[in-house]
Structure 1
């Protein structure tokens, strides 16, 4: 999952980004409203974390403009504003959830899991495909109940394949949702990580559930 954090408290912003990266999410950060609005309008994110008190452009104005352009991407407001009217206005403008500062990081993680599951119509915290199980809360994968030792990137890839099983996923789509801006479509990084994930799954399952469709991408088939 690729998340944008728009937050002017730089220490908090970097702390959230680092914690979410450890959870397996790719994160972009910005500290002012103008850059945040530009990123919203030009990049494709799975979730946006949006502060309200921002320099340049207020968070509610970003939300207002963004929703005229994109009505699907979940937006979670993070704000020190505790008045009920602020929450009502934010939700009425199209926010999907509202988290009041200060908050525990564990609650932020739970809100993110809820919003991303909702986006992919996934009610259970565990994703399953045949004998493969992936717990989105603990970030642990298993085959027939036996844990798989996956790297952070391999876990993110497996999660994305499970969310989009039976559909071909192009390398460009993977870059957009699972890598940061340092990787491009000509990078060998994607092939290396997918190859490693496929090897581990093949060892555990006795067959390779991920197929390479030449010129198109990869697919996890049930």
Structure 2
């Protein structure tokens, strides 16, 4: 399982990483909130976040995660006893909360209970699928590594398949709040269509796109 760990205490960070890796998990560990924030779209199956970390706190990262992934479990680990902070964690979509100090066994149990993604590979048809774990497309047994924007767009289409996605929705999600012209969006869609080879992405005139699979 691919896990993102954010914990600014170096010793605790290293101890958690070592224990989880002994269990066969692949752990990407960060001590700085900004670094973790910049990596949340890398196809993780589980997030373990401290709240009080440098630069960008865990609550803001949790909110951003939920913009991308509704169902990927998030476990908050924190020493805070402030009820409003704990309430915010749950309001913004954390699945469980573990108060410091804790035994790493406790965290391990929560991860085993919550952080299991059933489908690491999302199949479009017999010879085309998206490997969620490695964030790659496989078309006719050929692995295709996507750019960040291509990966964000395919993630959006997969999670919202059969739904009309407006230019505005695509702009907010793929460009992460920055401005993108309609021409830029169309250009990105053309690139992804060329990679996919089949007409999964259908145009909704003057509105946006819809992703349909058999």
Residue 194 of structure 2 is matched in structure 1 by 199
2:211 to 194, 205, 220: 220
Q: Assess, with a 3 A threshold, how the Cα gap between structure 1 residues 162 and 79 changes in structure 2: closer, same or farther.
A: same
In the superposition, the TM-score normalised over structure 2's length comes to 0.57
Q: Is the counterpart of residue 82 in structure 1 residue 105 in structure 2?
A: no
Q: Is the counterpart of residue 158 in structure 1 residue 134 in structure 2?
A: no
Residue 143 of structure 1 is matched in structure 2 by 139
Contact conserved, 2:43 with 2:134, CA < 8 A, in 1?
no
Q: Secondary structure at the match of 1:133?
A: strand
Q: Quote the Cα distance in structure 2 between the aligned partners of 1:194 and 1:200.
A: 10
Structure with the bigger RCO (C-alpha within 8 Å, sep 6+) is: 1
In the superposition, the TM-score normalised over structure 1's length comes to 0.56
1:167 to 163, 166, 170: 163
Unaligned runs of 5+ in 1: 88-96, 100-106, 118-122
Residue 134 of structure 1 is matched in structure 2 by 130
Q: Secondary structure at the match of 1:208?
A: coil
Q: Quote the Cα distance in structure 2 between the aligned partners of 1:150 and 1:42.
A: 21
Unaligned runs of 5+ in 2: 10-29, 45-50
The Cα of 1:143 is off from its aligned counterpart by 1.4
Q: Quote the Cα distance in structure 1 between the aligned partners of 2:134 and 2:196.
A: 19
RMSD: 4.3
Equivalenced residues, count: 174
The Cα of 1:167 is off from its aligned counterpart by 1.8
Q: Assess, with a 3 A threshold, how the Cα gap between structure 1 residues 188 and 78 changes in structure 2: closer, same or farther.
A: farther
